Amino acid sequence: DSGVTQTPKHLITATGQRVTLRCSPRSGDLSVYWYQQSLDQGLQFLIQYYNGEERAKGNILERFSAQQFPDLHSELNLSSLELGDSALYFCASSVSAGPTDTQYFGPGTRLTVL
Amino acid sequence: EDQVTQSPEALRLQEGESSSLNCSYTVSGLRGLFWYRQDPGKGPEFLFTLYSAGEEKEKERLKATLTKKESFLHITAPKPEDSATYLCAANQAGTALIFGKGTTLSVSS
């Protein structure tokens, strides 16, 4: 158990809908990262927050957005969902935002768009 | 373009048959090279971080090494419970991890 929690574990929804994925980092960690894992693309970085502020952006679609709250939990919002958004979404956390910080991953949310 | 490539994609071993997994990277200014283990449907589990060429780290039957262009994960006398996908990732400048697509290891008894 990494100490990172994610809810829900599974989410099934229809195209065009909007969903919210939630992540609580390990106690004491200030950075939260979101990754998407699909069969053909592997793990792809989406976005990072550090202590409530957006720190870095990766291949995140405009339909997706995220935020980190004062209690450091984070939410990833996915809207106008398409079939291709079906994937595993992982949250990771680290103590700070340094390049050598270990990122600890949560158990993931499996999103299925029908 | 920064890239991490892992080989082989899949590896089947008999219990006790040692082998190595390869991770080659083209990342300028590498700050850290990370190895993770991922079981099906689960989140990646941290194994090692390597910071500079020549560094080695060990944990049970696993040993990770780093050169200027690649990293190896050596598995000595593997057991069926070592079956998993092993992911390699590079960190360049404090932002995202760049992951390889992984090597799926199957160990049969």
pLDDT at A25: 98
Neighbours of B31 (CB within 10 A): 17
Mean pLDDT of all residues belonging to chain B: 94
Scan for tokens 């209690």, then name that residue: A71
> In chain A, what residues touch B43 (CB-CB under 8 Å)?
2, 4, 90, 105-108
Q: Are A43 and A103 in contact (CB under 8 A)?
A: no
Rounded CA separation B98/B60 (Å): 26
Residue A12 one-letter amino acid: I
pLDDT at B30: 86
pLDDT at A59: 85
Taking 50 as the pLDDT cut, the residues of chain A under it are none
Tell me: the pLDDT tens digits for A42-61? Answer: 899 999 999 999 999 998 99
β partners of residue B104: B10, B85
Tell me: the pLDDT tens digits for B57-80? Answer: 999 999 999 999 999 999 999 999
pLDDT at B94: 62
CB-based contact A99 B87, cutoff 8 Å:
no
- Lookup: tokens for B79: 């057991």
pLDDT at B40: 92
CB-based contact B99 A43, cutoff 8 Å:
yes
Q: Are A82 and B22 in contact (CB under 8 A)?
A: no
User: A13 CA to chain B: closest CA distance, Å?
Assistant: 19
Rounded CA separation B37/B42 (Å): 10
> In chain B, what residues touch A110 (CB-CB under 8 Å)?
41
Strands (E), chain A: 5-7, 10-13, 19-24, 31-38, 42-50, 53-57, 64-68, 74-78, 87-94, 104-105, 109-113
Phi-psi region of B92 (alpha: psi -120 to 50; beta: other; left: phi over 0): alpha
Q: Work out the average pLDDT over B16-26.
A: 97
pLDDT at B28: 81
Q: Is the pLDDT of residue B100 over 80?
A: yes
> In chain B, what residues touch A106 (CB-CB under 8 Å)?
43
pLDDT at B92: 76
